[in-house]
Amino acid sequence: MGKTLQIHSTLACDVLIIGAGGAGLRCAAFIHERRPDLKVFAVTKVAHPQKSHTGTAQGGLAAVDPKDRTDSALFHMFDTWKGGDCSSDQNVVRKIVAGGWEEVQWLELRGMHLSRDEEGNISKRQFGGHTVEFGKGDALRAVFEADRTGKGIMDTVWGEALKGGALFINATVATELLFNEGRCVGAVLFKVKEGEFVAALAGATVLATGGSGQVYRITTNCRNNTGDGPAVILRAGLPVMDPEAVQFHPTGIVGPGILASEALRSEGGILRNKDLEPFMERYAPKMKNLAPRDIVARSIEMEIREGRGIMNPDHQLEHVWIDLRHLPDHVHEVKLKEVASFFKTYANLDSRTQLCPVRPSNHYHMGGIPTNEYGEVQKSADAIVPGLFAIGECACASLHGFNRLGTNSLLELLVMGRCAGERVLSFLKENRAPAVKDAGEATLALFARYLEAQGKENVGLIRQEMRAMMTGKVGVFRDETGLQEAVASLADLKRRAAQAPVAVKDMRMNQELLERWELDNLLDNAMTIAQGALMRKESRGAHFREDYPERSDEYQFHTLVSMTDFGKVCFGKRPIDMSIHESGGEHAERFGIMPRKY
């Protein structure tokens, strides 16, 4: 105590990439391939870029193979538009879908071990919502590396970024963006391991901090996904877009919420409640257990709410069962090998003879930092922040609209990583980075407050309460009363957080201090999610309001929300791009407003 915090040093680079996951390092690798002379910093919160969360993606990467006569980019665009509940931007959809196969080739040529068919060609698999001929049949559109597609991508991009000479700054968080005359010129970094603050000045800054799943108690997301990117943006007075669009996966494994793949249901698994009733028959008499993700998630949640869930004593969590006992051994051993092994590892259960506990788990945030189709961050619907870019899950361009199709996220982060890289290069050509004064004062003041705080509150407990509250009130089901309670309770939690002391005062690897900062980020994200959900009096994609169960044309826009004072939000709108529909080209009529029915 008593030591005043200071900026330890100032570093300079051409491109500062904040977040060294799939998106950030695809961008870094692109820049190095084009301009080996540039100095690129790749900052990551985890211990090494390989530990980033992209490495956990299992299922696949959507990309239309131009050699495939049965599939076409147009079909993929249609599926994405429909799946997103008519809330994706069509200019973005067109661009990302068109760039898919080029990314597959890039990865393949650089050593990704994509799964192959007998002839040695790249294999493809089917994924929910991906169809040919506008819903007529299933599309084989996802390339994959066994059940570890994300790992294959992660290993390739960090290898390439390393080879290109990117400088990894590990175990470090960006806490504040630096501006000069409206232009972003870098960021303040807190090097957690060393306990040092540094100013990193850059010609261009790219945010790629990934997801925000830790806002919820049950999530498939990693411990580090605390929504730092959107929080840093909000603190800079900039808006986030569509924060209320949060996807829940129906079958997370109890307790932590680890993703149990869709395959569970497609291979014949039956969901049952505490009376062992196969309840999906009541909610979706035709499709039953094969109904789309959001319907299954809501059905499970309803069973739990009406008292037909089962309490897991260890994790103190209610769940339903997935029954796989009737499936033949080879299904358990081959087709469901990975998930079966998860049940074994995390619940000590044998799926061949025992019921397995599952419940909806937060999975993906469609919303995020608003960008245009080049990854340039926007300060309003029609103005960008020069020098600042955002890509990957923290960004919102928007490809996914209000509901993401499986495998589209890996596609997005690769294509947008490359496209933002292109834009960064043309931006650097025209511009030089001016220096800033007073860099980092906001960060230093914030952290000093954390270190000086006194009181009886506990960061861990507040976090736990917030996450449980968000799962309960701003989760799968939402309504006016619940959302209003959520907003009030977040304000209360924020007040309490100010009275949570940090015992360790030494700055080196001060986990308590980091978690205190993360708590503020989580609260900021939670508040914009709750407020966005409260404002949007309709149901759209994954955002489901019980009191307004239908989609409404009145809300046919993207939510922009900024928040400089906690809880005091300011809303804006961004129109949803419908340029494919408006182009009048072939099949343009398919891209109008339609019901999301399967």
Partner 1 sequence: MSKSYSLTLTIRRFDPDASRRWFQTYTLSTGPILRFVDLFRRINVEQDATLAWTSSCEHAQCGSCSVKVNGRPMLACELLVENAVNLFGTTKFRIEPVTVAPVVRDLVVDWEKAYERVHRAKPYLIEPKELPPGMTEHRISPGKIARYEEATRCINCFCCAEACLSSCRNFIGPNAAMAGIVRMMDIRETQKEERLDLLYSEEGIYRCHTSKACSHVCPKEIDVAHFIALAKEGAF
Residues annotated catalytic, as ranges? 293
Strand 61-62 with 137-143, pairing: antiparallel
Residue 519 in contact with ligand FAD, rule: CB under 6 A: no
| Torsion-angle region of 499 (φ positive above 0: left; ψ -120 to 50: alpha; else: beta) | alpha
Applying CB under 6 A, among 209, 212, 273, 403 the residue interacting with ligand FAD is: 209
End-to-end CA distance of the chain: 60
Of residues 363-422, those binding partner 1 (CB under 8 A): none
The 8-class DSSP code of residue 332 comes to I
Q: Which of 77, 62, 69, 64 is CA-nearest to residue 142?
A: 62
Helix (H) or strand (E) holding 203: strand 196-207
Residue 450 in contact with partner 1, rule: CB under 8 A: no
Applying CB under 6 A, among 90, 205, 221, 371 the residue interacting with ligand FAD is: 221
Applying CB under 8 A, among 190, 279, 321, 342 the residue interacting with partner 1 is: 342
Distance, CA of 482 to chain centre:
24
Residue 506 in contact with partner 1, rule: CB under 8 A: yes
* Residue found under tokens 């904040």: 18
Question: Residue with CB nearest ligand FAD?
Answer: 21
Detail the DSSP E strand segments found in 46-182: 61-62, 125-132, 137-143, 167-169, 172-180
Provide, rounded to whole angstroms, the least separation between the CB of residue 213 and ligand FAD: 7
Strand 196-207 with 7-18, pairing: parallel
Residue with smaller CB distance to ligand FAD, 19 or 475: 19
Residue 171 in contact with partner 1, rule: CB under 8 A: yes
φ, ψ (nearest 5 deg) of residue 54: -55, -30
The 8-class DSSP code of residue 331 comes to I
Task: Answer yes or no: are the C-beta atoms of 529 and 470 closer than 8 Å.
Answer: yes
Residue 229 in contact with partner 1, rule: CB under 8 A: no
Tell me the CB-side half-sphere exposure of residue 142, using CA atoms within 13 A: 26
Residue with smaller CB distance to partner 1, 182 or 455: 455
DSSP-H helix ranges across 380-440: 408-430
Applying CB under 8 A, among 4, 348, 353, 454 the residue interacting with partner 1 is: 348
φ, ψ (nearest 5 deg) of residue 572: -140, 175
Residue 236 in contact with ligand FAD, rule: CB under 6 A: no
54 interacts with, out of ligand FAD, partner 1, none, CB within 5 to 8 A per kind:
ligand FAD
DSSP-H helix ranges across 113-227: 149-164
Applying CB under 6 A, among 50, 224, 362, 398 the residue interacting with ligand FAD is: 224
Count CB-CB contacts under 10 A for residue 125: 16
Applying CB under 8 A, among 9, 345, 426, 499 the residue interacting with partner 1 is: 345
Write each residue from 252 to 291 as x if it is in contact with partner 1 (CB under 8 A), else as -, in one continuous string: ---xx-x---------------------------------
Q: Which residues bind partner 1 (CB under 8 A)?
A: 46-48, 50-53, 55-56, 67, 104-105, 108-111, 113, 115-122, 146, 148, 151-152, 155-156, 158-160, 162-163, 168, 170-171, 193, 222-224, 255-256, 258, 313-315, 342, 345-348, 458-461, 464, 502-506, 508-512
Q: Which residues bind ligand FAD (CB under 6 A)?
A: 18-24, 43-46, 49, 52-54, 56-60, 149-150, 173-174, 208-211, 220-221, 224, 228, 259, 364, 392-394, 406-410, 413
